[in-house]
Structure 1
Amino acid sequence: MEITAAVNALSALAHETRLSVFRRLVQAGPEGVPAGELARGLDVIANTMSAHLNVLGHAGLVQSRRVGRSIIYSATYDRMTDLLAYLMEDCCGGSPEVCAPLAAVVNDAACCVTAPGSTQ
């Protein structure tokens, strides 16, 4: 990821509502969430939600698709991964203990944990 793309993504996330929207979309998974449901869930008026989704979309963090009369938004996981990788690229600086707490966060993330008895 180039620095300009990282700055755009971080700028898009540097707003309470947009960060909340993005987190909800990440939690929702690839199936996404209708725009109206996002607006109601965060108590944001529809045109304001549309503006926030537009900013996130321009940063490449969300994508949309039309299903009937609804527009469904979902997180762009590849872009999120690229941004996290960019931020972590030079983390340790030769000292792995610096990033060890972050590795623990990733290992404990709900989506990254393998259920007991399952195979991945």
Structure 2
Amino acid sequence: MEITNAITSFAALSQDTRLKAFKLLVSQEPDGLPAGEIARQLSVPHNTMSAHLAVLARAGWVVSKRQSRQIIYRASLSHMEAVVQFLLQDCCAGHPELCASLIDSLSGCETAKSDKKDSL
């Protein structure tokens, strides 16, 4: 990832509604949500939400797919991974053990996902 792409990505998330929308979509993986449901859950007018989703899509944070009359949005986990890799590519001056706590905190995603499935 080039620095200009990273800046565009960070700029897209540097707004309250867009960051909330992205976090909501991450929590709904792998199914995603229709645009109207995102707007409803975040209490944002539909047209405003569409504009925010367009910004996120242009920056690569979300992908969309038409399903009948609805557009389903999903978080682009591959883009999120690319951004995290960009941030960490020169991490710790060649001492990856310094990043161990960061790696451990990310592995908590699997635990949270299993707990969520178990509660259903």
Bin for the TM-score computed over the shorter chain:
0.7 to 0.9
Aligned to 2:8: 8
Shift in CA distance, 111/15, structure 1 to aligned 2, threshold 3 Å: farther
Structure 2 segments unaligned to the other structure (5+ residues): 116-120
Please give the root-mean-square deviation of Cα atoms over the aligned residues, in Å: 1.9
Worse-matched range after superposition: 96-105 or 9-18: 96-105
Aligned to 1:40: 40
Aligned to 2:88: 88
Residue type of the alignment partner of 2:5: A
Which whole-Å CA distance do the structure 1 matches of 2:93 and 2:112 have between them? 25
Aligned to 1:106: 106
Which whole-Å CA distance do the structure 2 matches of 1:34 and 1:71 have between them? 5
Identify the structure with the greater helix proportion. Answer: 2
Shift in CA distance, 17/3, structure 1 to aligned 2, threshold 3 Å: same
State the identity as a percent.
Answer: 46
Which whole-Å CA distance do the structure 1 matches of 2:92 and 2:10 have between them? 21
Question: How far did residue 112 of structure 1 move?
Answer: 8.1
Structure 1 segments unaligned to the other structure (5+ residues): 116-120
Which whole-Å CA distance do the structure 2 matches of 1:13 and 1:99 have between them? 24
Offset from partner CA, 1:78-103 (integer Å, 9 cap, x none): 11110011011112124445422211
Q: Is the 8 A contact 1:106 1:112 kept in 2?
A: no
Pair 1:27 & 2:27 matched: yes
- Residue 86 of structure 2: SS of its match in structure 1? helix
Residue type of the alignment partner of 1:10: F
Offset from partner CA, 1:29-75 (integer Å, 9 cap, x none): 13210000000000000011001000000001111111111110001
Aligned to 1:79: 79
Which whole-Å CA distance do the structure 2 matches of 1:78 and 1:112 have between them? 19
Residue type of the alignment partner of 1:32: G
Aligned to 1:49: 49
Which whole-Å CA distance do the structure 2 matches of 1:67 and 1:29 have between them? 16
Shift in CA distance, 28/39, structure 1 to aligned 2, threshold 3 Å: same
